Every structure is written in C-alpha cells, then in structure tokens.
Amino acid sequence: MSYFVDTHSHLYREYYPDDLESVIRRAVDANVRKIILAGVDQQTPALIAEAAGLFPENIYGLVGLHPSDVREDYETVLDELKNHFEDRNIVGVGEIGLDYYHDRDFEKEQQIVFKRQLDWACEMQLPLSLHIRNAYSEAIPILNQYKTGSLTGVLHCFSGGIQEAEWAAQHGFAIGVGGIVTFKNSKLQEIVVKTGLDNIVLETDAPYLAPTPHRGTTNESGYIPLIAQKIAELLGVPVRTVMEKTTENALRIFSKIK
C-alpha cells in the first residue's frame, strides 16, 4: 500500500478549534490517507462524525469508553455508546482497557466496562484499540479468557515489555508505535527492533505525544512519516518498506476501512 495509516488519533474539533480542516488536509498531503479517530466517552461520537463528514474518504472512527472515563454511571454511558456502532465510518471498538496509572478508585468498574466492550467486539466481529497503562498483569488474564482468534486489534501506545509484545504477536494483536519511539533513550526502540514489522502499526495519539523534532507541541496525523522514518532507521530498511508493511497490518486489522 502506497500510503500511511494513522491507527489512533484524536482529531476532534475541541482540540483543533480553529484549524481542524487544515490539520487533516496536512495529513492527507503527507500521504497519511487513512486516519482512525478513537472514541473515549459519549461526547466523542459526534466529534468523530463531524471529522468524518469533512473527509469521508480519510477519516474513520471507533466507539468506546476510555478506562479513565469510567465512573458510577457507566451503565448509562455504555447503553448510549452502543447505539453509535451504526454511525458512518465506524470500524472498531476503542479505546478501551484498564488504566491504573493515577489511581485505582474505579478498578472494579473499569474491569466490568472492559469486559462488556470486549463482548461487543466479539458479538460484532470488530477489532479493538486497547489502552493498557500500569495494568498489563490485570488486562492480559482478562483477554486470555476469550478464545484465541475471537479478538484482534492494537495495543495502543504500547508501554509493555518484550513479553507483552510477544503475547500480542501470538494472539493476533499489533503494537501501536507512535512519537515516543523518536524520543532519546526510548525503551520502545528496543521493542521495535525485537518485534520487527510484522506486528507493528503506526499511530500519533494526536494531539498528544508529538514526535521529535516537534516534541512538546500539538501533535498531528501528518507527523506519521517522522515515526516511520525512525522505525526505518532502527530496522535498517527503507521508509517505503515501513509504510507498506504497517499499512498492510492496519488494513488487515481494521478490515472495514475501504
């Protein structure tokens, strides 16, 4: 495939109030032709629909409740979110998972919500965008409860070690590699070298985690080529090889993308 895919971004009007169209146009001009916007709560389906309406050939979306947004009202939120899988350009479930980085106040609720949304993915045969932070030891046993092959997707903003990367490869998941791989002394570089291209997809997580040399500024999907360039350097292959293989991986996982 002769274009890039950003498998995880947040190009919502709320983050780019004055230049959303320009941000998406810059990405397309940088040959990032397919961009997947992650859902995080009940507000994001409308924001995703707006962006997809502007660029229907380029913008796709996910539906999900982010673990950090899980509260006591999760049942109501999940009921509302499930109605959005019929929305235009929805291609998966996410971003969902477990996040115990800041606190564990809603640990039980996070696990209930995580399992409920994994059930959705199985029922609708949709791929996942998984957000797992400080919680691999809790998340992987939950994922292992599902039959091999019944779930697929991406470990978004991969922060695990080589064991978690190997688990992903063995269970039909790719690891999402973003701007962090360009940071000096990033541990993700070693993971990329050991993993190779067979189980890697590209992502930005824009507006967060802009790659070097834009670190500390607002991230954009148009910076995907910088991430690909770093991976190419680490693996000693042409950038085009990184582009073609990661796009192949992304389209295999998110098979509803046309």
pLDDT of residue 105: 87
* pLDDT score of 219 more than 80: yes
Cβ contact 40:84 at 8 Å: no
The answer to whether position 257 is within a domain reads no
Peptide bond into 213 cis (omega under 30): yes
- Residue 147 has a pLDDT of 77
In a domain, 252, yes or no: no
In a domain, 247, yes or no: no
Q: How many domains is the chain built from? A: 1
CATH of the domain at 211: 3.20.20.140
Please tell me the distance from the alpha carbon of residue 249 to that of residue 1, in angstroms, as a whole number.
10
Q: Looking at the chain, list the stretches that DSSP marks H as alpha helix, in order from N- to C-terminal side.
A: 20-29, 44-54, 74-82, 107-124, 136-143, 162-170, 188-195, 224-235, 239-253
Banded model confidence at residue 150, pLDDT cuts 50, 70, 90: confident
- Give yes or no for residue 102 having a pLDDT over 90: no
* 255 occurs within a structural domain: no
In a domain, 77, yes or no: yes
Residue 148 lies in a domain: yes
CB distance 112 to 74 below 8 Å: yes
Q: Which of 25-39, 95-109, 175-189, 194-208 shows the lowest mean pLDDT across its residues?
A: 95-109
19 in any annotated domain: yes
User: Taking the CA of residue 126 as centre, how many other CA atoms within 13 Å lie in the half-sphere pointing to its CB?
Assistant: 26
* 244 in a structural domain: no
What is the rounded average pLDDT for all residues in the chain?
97
Whether 1 has a pLDDT exceeding 80, the answer reads no
Which is nearest to 118 in space by CA: 101, 90, 95, 135? Answer: 95
User: Using 50, 70 and 90 to split pLDDT, how confident is the model at 179?
Assistant: very high
Q: How far apart are CA 63 and CA 53, in angstroms?
A: 16
| Residue 126 banded pLDDT, cuts 50, 70, 90 | very high
Binning pLDDT at 50, 70 and 90, where does residue 163 land? very high
Which residues span the domain enclosing 66?
4-173+205-228
Share of the chain above pLDDT 70, in %: 100
